[in-house]
Structure 1
């Protein structure tokens, strides 16, 4: 199976733990409607209790803890808040133009790595400085 750089991964900014693999490049871009939406990185899956096994175990535990209603996403390693979820209300952004995603990471709490996490010998683009660095830094 080819794990190319078409996928991005999410790491906890505090402890650098890998939280989620497989964000599509479009989901890591800014949504551009307002400052609220620019801070959110949606999980690019339609999540229901039926397809929950495809989610990382730690994320499913967070959803279960919140009874699939609403709650915080906490890093399983350091317990820092890295995102939120809410299935019951159709929340809107600050400017009231867009709907907030059901599950999302908070951009200021995570780092997006635009590379494959599967091979430590590959390189990826360092999104903070624009240079190419080895993965697994």
Structure 2
């Protein structure tokens, strides 16, 4: 049986943005998120609003956005519908909610994307 590909899609237009196999999502502490239960920082006990991407595995289309802004800071928009999906900030270091670790500089807003793992978990709850 072939490995299952986990696609991350724009919630507005359903365009595939990237796969988690090629671009693993990270926790606020920079660790690869294996499951949706692998919460990034339990400082406040709620699910975090952002997902993070490593600069080593960033998709080409996001890298183009970053290069356009000269690796400073800016917004990440869907290639298809131009809906805002997240942001990047290489200028200011931001700490996670527990205050221990700097978060990765490339952020995707959880509510702006669809992930099969998130919808499966929401239907179980």
Q: TM-score, normalised by structure 2?
A: 0.69
Residue correspondences, number:
111
Q: What pairs up with 1:43-82 in 2 under 5 angstroms?
A: 43=53, 45=54, 47=55, 55-82=58-85
Report the equivalent of 1:12. 10
Is the partner of 1:90 in helix, strand or coil?
A: coil
Deviations 1:76-117 (A, max 9, x none): 011111111111221124553442221121111111134xxx
Q: Distance in 1 between matches of 2:46 and 2:89?
A: 16
Asked if 2 retains the 8 angstrom alpha-carbon contact of 1:73 and 1:81, the reply is yes
Deviations 1:31-81 (A, max 9, x none): 1334797111111x3x2xxx6xx6433212211222111111100011111
Q: Distance in 2 between matches of 1:36 and 1:68?
A: 31
Runs of 4+ displaced beyond 6 Å: none
Report the equivalent of 1:101. 104
Report the equivalent of 1:126. 120
Q: Distance in 2 between matches of 1:73 and 1:36?
A: 25
Gaps of 5+ in 1: 115-124, 131-137
Q: Distance in 1 between matches of 2:44 and 2:71?
A: 27
